Amino acid sequence: MAKYIFVTGGVTSSLGKGIIAASLAKLLQARGYRVTIQKFDPYINVDPGTLNPYEHGECYVTDDGAETDLDLGHYERFLNTPTSQANNVTTGRIYQYVINQERAGAYLGKTVQVIPHITDEIKRRIMLLGEGNQYDIIITELGGTVGDIESLPYVEAVRQLKWELGEEDAIVVHLTLIPYLKAAKELKTKPTQHSVKMMSENGLNPDILVCRTEEPLYKDLKRKIAQFCNVRQDAVIEALDADTIYGVPLEMLRERLDIICLQKLDLPLGDEPEMLRWKEFLNKLRYPKSKVVIGLIGKYVELQDAYKSILEALIHAGAVNECKVEVRNIHSEHLTPENALEKLQQLDAILVAPGFGSRGIEGKIEAIKIAREENIPFFGICLGMQMACVEFARHVLGHKNAHSTEMQPETPQPVIAMMEEQKAITQMGGTMRLGTYTCELREGSRIAALYKSRRITERHRHRYEFNNAFLQAFEEAGMTPSGINPETGLVEIVEIEKHPFFIGTQFHPEYKSTVENPHPLFVAFVKAAKEAQEQRAGNARLVMEDRSLRVER
């Protein structure tokens, strides 16, 4: 039977529960255990798919087409194993299920209540992952902060489960904050004490405390926290601010978080965690030999979390290239035909982000034009690919009014148009083309060489597609549809072969990049950025030499 580790959070949000949970999972996995992680989100939306990125950061997509919390992205990037719909559950989904059951008459006349019906459904979802002997350990992260009204049913469900399963089959790791007061030059434990007390009032006691802190926790302080929060002293774990999230597993290893969990779960420690490749990756990440500057053109750039998977994929790819990737966020709304060249020409590469709606769209098209004309490496993802097609239609094919019907339903040249099966859809939630689809790559194309394969699978999230009526014209003018869905004929990849690097993908490769499996397109894109930089430096040197020669003469 699987064992459970519940991860709760106290004092404040944004302490990095997802990273701690993923780091712990990584260590247990590296000791040979089969681990998965599940996240419960206490909001009423059925999934984050309809949420604005400003509300909730990026929406992550799994192979089976679930639109999920971005923490699932961390789980996949750390564990290198795919997650699914079952790994992310919201309060909305729980209630939807219970209400549907009630309408179906499943409760046989009973009054349907938070306790036991909602808590039972939460418990069922937690246990579901444990069925089928797929995993030894399931880490369940409770979103939100203990003490929030909406977290209460989850805390109660965990309390019941802990009682039902027994001490050795379910433990609670509570993540908390130990603030440092500069004026007093002191670390303060009171907020942690309060948060643990609040949990105890609800009948749940943490077994392990992971303490986020800016300053090291000295021994007496650990003892004090242990004493007042009723945990063993070695179960007070220090989690110092890290230079990179990828350093956290090794920090947790040093603090013996994995060992303490295994001891409490009465599981053998197994082998020392095998973290060789992880350490190699970290070394390359921390000690890069070069640096490139990549412009990220989007409309949510002021929010770090909005393009999380893209930023992480660039970090993985940077490490492979032993190159620091500095991402320069450029708001597409601020780009105009007058200023674009000046703002973009110093970049080593340009990435145009996914997105929805027309805000900032002309800025994206402008950026793509510069990338194409100035031979700056370009990578367009989803909307970025679609706008690359619009740009090409406008400025190469001469269709001045070309557009996507998403932005301009009446455009005379709809190079991007709504997919046929989307037209009848009226419900917004979970109805896009979602999840994994197969794509066939053209023999001899650059993309096939990058993937080292002719058949790939990638994840999608969109309603619009390339309009195949324009296929031949594009191909003849030099934009090649080099990736096609074999069943539907949808264009999934376009590239300009007579350009140092110009690739647009209808799918989202960023969702599949992991530490141990950096995505080949991102790796190649960063490499192209490096080459572009070297080329520019070479050109500049030639100009200088030419000038000094002329002076000598």
- Alpha-carbon span 54 to 196, nearest angstrom: 31
- Secondary structure element (H or E) that encloses residue 459, with its range: strand 455-462
Q: Which of 316, 403, 460, 508 is catalytic?
A: 508
Smallest separation (angstroms) from ligand GLN to the CB of 437? 14
Smallest separation (angstroms) from ligand GLN to the CB of 406? 5
* Distance of alpha carbon 442 from the chain centroid: 29
CB 37 within 8 A of CB 24: no
CB 481 within 8 A of CB 385: no
Closest CA to 505 of 424, 428, 450: 450
Closest CA to 496 of 516, 473, 477, 480: 480
Closest CA to 16 of 305, 374, 333, 288: 305
The answer to whether residue 508 is catalytic is: yes
Smallest separation (angstroms) from ligand GLN to the CB of 253? 37
Question: Which one, 508 or 527, has the nearer CB to ligand GLN?
Answer: 508
Smallest separation (angstroms) from ligand GLN to the CB of 384? 7
Closest CA to 314 of 54, 15, 77: 77
Chain residues that interact with ligand GLN, rule: CB under 6 A? 354-356, 382-383, 406, 461-464
Q: Which of 58, 76, 492, 510 is catalytic?
A: 510
What separation in angstroms does the CA of 381 have from each of 384, 399, 405?
5, 22, 18
Smallest separation (angstroms) from ligand GLN to the CB of 61? 9
Smallest separation (angstroms) from ligand GLN to the CB of 55? 16
CB 37 within 8 A of CB 280: no
User: What DSSP character marks residue 45?
Assistant: S
Q: Which of 382, 406, 462, 492 is catalytic?
A: 382
Helices (H) and strands (E) in the chain, counts: 18, 23
- Alpha-carbon span 512 to 270, nearest angstrom: 29
- Alpha-carbon span 509 to 507, nearest angstrom: 6
Which tokens hold the place of 50?
């309809």
Question: Which one, 81 or 405, has the nearer CB to ligand GLN?
Answer: 405
Which tokens hold the place of 25?
């999972």
Positions annotated as catalytic residues are 382, 508, 510
